[in-house]
């Protein structure tokens, strides 16, 4: 009887291990992300979803919302219209690692950043906390009020200026996106 139970348990464990796991960003988000958002009384549509991977680990699923879909990063950054980027974390990430990624993204995608813009990124760094699995971070840009920042589901304040909104978005869709070109193409809807 014990042998039968052991064989059955081994088969069951094997089936669980070999069962298909979510493999797309949408599946990994688990229905947390929505198809549209409202900003400044304007409906934004989901432009793209992307999975941020680091080595073999899934870090977060991001969603970019725009007034209309486009796959051209230059158009997105040139337009002075509302936009939103949300990140649903799939694992714990400490604030130090997040801040290092922001600074690397700024340096790689906005090489001529002014001191004022660098100070805004320092302000952003002060808002960061350790992110836990299932936490959400978001950046909502409004031409009238700047970028509202949410960290771990809590409003953290805002940072004025389109320069900051463009620089933070460029960390994902700029010429040298921190998460990589596969991520960039997915968030652009390609």
In a domain, residue 12? The reply is no
Q: CA-to-CA distance for 109 and 103, rounded, in angstroms?
A: 10
Which of 118, 34, 16, 121 has the alpha carbon at shortest distance from 84?
34
* Residue 24's pLDDT band (cuts 50, 70, 90): low
Mind giving me the DSSP string for 115-171?
HHHHHHHHHHHHH---B-TT-EEEEEEETTTEEEEEETTEEEEEE--HHHHHHHHHH
In a domain, residue 174? The reply is yes
In a domain, residue 99? The reply is yes
Mean pLDDT of 47-68: 96
Mean pLDDT of 18-39: 63
Number of structural domains (the chain) is 1
Q: For residue 80, what is the domain's CATH number?
A: 3.50.70.10
- pLDDT for 28 equals 60
Whether residue 58 contacts residue 134, with contact meaning beta carbons closer than 8 Å, is answered with no
Instruction: List, for residues 131-185, the tens digit of each pLDDT value.
Output: 999 999 999 999 999 999 999 999 999 999 999 999 999 999 999 999 999 999 9
Torsion, CA 119, CA 124, CA 129, CA 135, rounded to 10: -160
In a domain, residue 6? The reply is no
In a domain, residue 61? The reply is yes
- pLDDT for 34 equals 84
User: Which structure tokens are listed for 160?
Assistant: 């004025």
In a domain, residue 145? The reply is yes
In a domain, residue 15? The reply is no
In a domain, residue 182? The reply is yes
Res 58 pLDDT > 50: yes
Instruction: List, for residues 80-124, the tens digit of each pLDDT value.
Output: 999 999 999 999 999 999 999 999 999 999 999 999 999 999 999
Range of the domain at 146: 23-187
| CA dist list (Å): 88 to 13, 17, 68, 143, 167 | 29, 25, 22, 25, 20
Mean pLDDT of 24-52: 82
- Predicted structure pTM score: 0.85
């Amino acid at each position: 009887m014990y042998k039968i139970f052991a064989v059955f348990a081994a088969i069951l464990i094997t089936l669980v291990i070999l069962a298909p796991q979510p493999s797309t960003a949408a599946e990994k988000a688990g229905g947390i992300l929505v198809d549209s958002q409202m900003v400044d009384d304007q409906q934004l549509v989901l432009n793209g979803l992307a999975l941020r991977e680091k080595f073999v680990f899934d870090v977060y699923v991001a969603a970019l919302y725009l007034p209309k879909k486009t796959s051209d990063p230059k158009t997105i950054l040139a337009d002075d219209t509302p936009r939103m980027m949300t990140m649903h974390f799939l694992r714990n990430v400490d604030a130090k690692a997040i801040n290092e990624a922001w600074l690397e993204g700024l340096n790689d995608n906005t090489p001529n950043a002014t001191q004022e813009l660098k100070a805004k990124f320092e302000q952003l760094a002060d808002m960061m906390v350790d992110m836990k699995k299932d936490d959400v971070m978001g950046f909502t840009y409004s031409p009238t009020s700047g970028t509202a920042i949410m960290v771990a589901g809590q409003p953290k304040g805002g940072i004025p200026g389109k320069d900051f909104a463009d620089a933070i978005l460029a960390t994902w869709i700029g010429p040298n996106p921190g998460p990589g070109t596969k991520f960039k193409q997915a968030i652009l809807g390609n």
